Structure 1
Amino acid sequence: MAQDDKVGTIDLGQGLQVTGQGFGSMSLSGPYGPAEDDESLRTLNHVIDRGVTFLDTANIYGEGHNESLLSRVLKTRRDEVTLATKAGIVRPKNPGDPRANGDPAFIKKCLDESLQRLGVDEVDLYYYHRVDSRVPIEETVGAYAELVQAGKVKHIGLSEVTSNELRRAHQVHPITAIQMEYSIFSRDIERWLLPAASELGVGLVPYASLGRGYFTGQVDSLEQLEASDIRHNFPRFEPTSMERNLRLRKVIETVAEREEFTTAQVALNWVYEQADRHDVAVAPIPGTRFRAHFDDNLEALDIRLSEQSMNELNALAAQVDGERQRDIYSVSKGREEQQMAKM
C-alpha cells in the first residue's frame, strides 16, 4: 500500500523528525478491553503502510506485552519506524506507595529490559514516564543522558512534567519532547508548560486527545465498560460527571456536524490548531484497535476548523466536571499549581 503524502514530517525537537501524527499502541494491550494479537499486528502494519511511523509504547503497557507485540513488527520494519518508549511508572504492592521510580539504576535496568523485549539496540525517544518526587529530576535525567552517551537512546522525553521540572531537566540534557494529556477538556498545560516548551524548542506529544473515547461517542456510561477497563479509574467517567459533561460533548458534536467532520477529527484538529497558537511543534498519538478508526483520525491532518468552531470549543474546558486524574499530583496539574503558588 502506498504511503500518504499528507502525513508529512515535522521537527519535534532537537532535530528528531517524526510524522505529523503518531500512533499510541497502548490500546493493543487490553486497557480498554481485549485485543487479539494477530489483529493488532494487522493494525500496526496498516498504520505504517499509511505513512504514520511514529510509534509510541511503554514498558508498563500490558506489563511488557506491548513492547513484545511491537517487536514482531520491528523485526522487518525497524528502519521505517521512529520508536518511543518509557520508564518510571511502577505498580506498588501496597496502596499509597509511590507509583513512580526515578532512581537512575532503575531507569537503566528498565531500558535494558525494554530493548530486549523490543528486539532493538536503540530507541529513538525515551521518556521519563512519571516524575518521582523523591529523586531530583536532575539525577534521573542525568541517567537518561548517560544512556544517550552509551548509544542506547537518541533523544530524551518527559511525560507529565511541570514547567519548572522541564527547565531543570533541560539544563542537564536537551529535552526533545514532552508527552502530556491535552484535549478540548484538558488544557491545564497551556498556562505555564507550553510557554516553557516553546521557549526551549521542546515538542509536544499529546495523549488522550479524544477524551479516552468520550468525544467519539463510544462511552456514555460506566455500564458500557468492562470491569477491567481503566476508564473506571478516571473521575470524568464517574456517573455524575459523565452526565454533566454530556452537554459539553453535544457542542463537539454540533461543531462536527456543521463542519462536516467526525468528532474525532474535530478533537484532533483542535489540538493541531491550539499547538500552533502556542508555537509548539506537535504530533498527537491517538491510539485504537481498529483500522477504520485510525483512518478516520488520520484525516484530521487534512482539515481546518473555523474560528467560530475554535471559539466554541475553547469555552468548554472551564465547564468540565471532574479532574483528569484521580491523583492530580501524579500528573503535572497538581504539582504545577503547587509550585506556582510558592513563587
Structure 2
Amino acid sequence: MNKRTLGQSDLKVSEVGLGCMSLGTEKQHALSIVDEALELGINYLDTADLYDFGTNEEIVGEAIKSRRHEIILATKAGNRWEEGKPGWFWDPSKAYIKEAVKRSLKRLQTDYIDLYQLHGGTIEDNIDETVEAFEELKQEGVIRYYGISSIRPNVIKEYAKKSNIITVMMQYSLLDRRPEEWLSSLEERGISVIARGPLAKGLLTERPVSQANANIKKNGYLSYSYDELVKTKADIEKTAPDLTATETAMKYILSQPAVGAVIPGASKVSQLRENIKSVSGRRLTEQEIKALRFYTKRDVYTAHRG
C-alpha cells in the first residue's frame, strides 16, 4: 500500500489506516480484524483511551505487542473518567495529560506512542499549558509527535499557530467537505489532515441510500435532506461509473495533498478488505474531481470561529 508522510515528521503511514473505535469488545473478533489489517499492508492504527473506557487500547496493545516496531501507533487523551463511574468530562490540563499517557502506555503494552492526539478542545482551554504537556512528553521520549482531533476552526487556528502539531484529525467525506476550508493553510504549515468518517456512516458505500437508518430518512445527514442524499449519491456514482461508490469516496479524499491518511473503521474483516481494496487501481481524474465538487456541497463550520 502507498505510504504518506505525516506533516513535518518521519512517520510514514499507509494511506488507509485502521480507525479502531468500531472493533468492539469481543477480543478474538477484534484481534482478527487488526491482524488482517496488518497482513494487508496497513501500518497505522488509531485508537483513544476513551474507546470502551480503555478496553480498545488493551486490545490494540495485545494485537501489536510482538510487532510494535512495524506499527505507527496513534492514541488520544483529554476525556477523563473514573473507574466504575458512568460518563466522562473534559480535562486538557497538563497534569491530567501526563497522567493519562502512563495509563495508555500500560494498556498498549509499549513504552512510546508515535502520535499522541488531544481528543477535542475548546478555545476556553489553557492551550499553552496543553502544548507544554505534549512538548514535555516529546522531550521525555514518551511520545514521538502530537496532533489534535478537532473540527473547531478557532481551536485549529490556535494550535497551528502555537504548537508543533503534525496532524489535525477531522471528519471529512464527499458529504462533509467542511474541512476543505483548511486544507491549503494546513498544508502550507506542514500539518497533515487525518480523515475520519470518509464513508459518511455507510452512505458512500455500495449500500443504497434507501437502506439508511430511520433517523437519516427523517432528518437527512448534516445539511443534506434525505431526497438530496438520494440524488447526490446517484450523481457521485455516475461520475466514475467504473469505480464503486466506496472507491470514489476514498479516492476523492486521498486526492487532496494535505490528507495524510484516511481512517475508516471496520467492524468486520469484509469491510476492512473493501476499504483497502478501494484505494488500489487508478486515481480520479481532475475532471472527475471537479464533477464531484460540483455535485456535492462545500459547507463551512459556522460555529466556534471567534
TM-score range, shorter chain: 0.7 to 0.9
Match of residue 231, structure 2, among 229, 241, 247 = 247
Match of residue 264, structure 2, among 286, 305, 310: 286
Given the alignment of the two structures, is residue 221 of structure 1 paired with residue 212 of structure 2, yes or no? yes
> Equivalent residue for 2:22?
27
Taking the aligned partners of 2:27 and 2:226, their CA distance within structure 1 comes to 32
* 1:269 and 2:264 correspond: no
The CA deviation string for residues 7-56 of structure 1, in whole angstroms up to 9 with x for no partner, is: 13221122222222211111112xxxxx6321221111111111110111
Secondary structure of 2:225's partner?
A: helix
Question: What is the percent sequence identity of the aligned residues?
Answer: 28
Q: Is the Cα contact below 8 Å between 1:138 and 1:172 reproduced in 2? A: yes
Write the distance in 2 (CA, Å) between the matches of 1:99 and 1:241: 33
Deviations 1:123-154 (A, max 9, x none): 00001110133313222121111111121111
1:59 Cα offset (Å): 1.0
**8 Å Cα contact 1:23-1:54 kept in structure 2:** yes
Q: Partner letter of residue 221 of structure 1?
A: A
Equivalents in 2 of 1:125, 1:236: separation in Å?
34
Structure 2, unpaired ranges of 5+: none
User: Match of 1:215, SS?
Assistant: coil
Q: Contact 1:68 / 1:117 at 8 angstroms: preserved in 2?
A: yes
Partner of 2:196: 207
Task: Give the corresponding residue for 2:301.
Answer: 333
- Give runs of aligned pairs for residues 93-108 of structure 1, distance below 5 A: 100-108=90-98
* Alignment of 1:52 onto 2:36: no
State the 1:91 CA deviation.
7.3
> Structure 1 residue 73: deviation in Å?
0.8
- After TM superposition, give the deviation of residue 159 of structure 1 in Å: 1.1
* 1:73 aligned partner: 63
Quick one: distance in 2 between partners of 1:100 and 1:186?
26
Which stretch of the first structure deviates more once superposed, 154-163 or 72-81? 154-163
Aligned residue runs from structure 1 range 1-343, under 5 A: 7-15=1-9, 16-29=11-24, 36-89=26-79, 100-162=90-152, 164-191=154-181, 193-218=182-207, 220-223=211-214, 236-237=220-221, 241-256=225-240, 258=241, 260-273=242-255, 275-276=256-257, 280-299=258-277, 300-318=279-297, 333-336=301-304, 338-339=305-306
Amino acid at match of 1:305: L
Q: CA deviation at 1:170?
A: 4.2
Structure-1 separation of matches of 2:103 and 2:303: 30
SS in 1 for 2:79: coil
Distance between the aligned counterparts of 1:109 and 1:131, measured in 2? Answer: 18
SS of 1:156's equivalent? Answer: strand
SS, match of residue 188 in structure 1? coil
Task: Tell me, in whole angstroms, the C-alpha distance in 2 between the residues paired with 1:71 and 1:98.
Answer: 23
Please, what is the CA RMSD of the aligned residues? 2.8
Alpha-carbon distance change, 45 to 136 in structure 1, aligned in 2, over 3 angstroms: same
Contact 2:151 2:171 in 1 (8 A): no
CA distance, structure 2, for counterparts of residue 140 and residue 236 of structure 1: 37
Structure-1 separation of matches of 2:265 and 2:202: 10
Decide whether aligned partners of structure 1 residues 89 and 313 sit closer, same or farther in structure 2, where only a CA change above 3 A counts. farther
Q: How many residues align?
A: 296
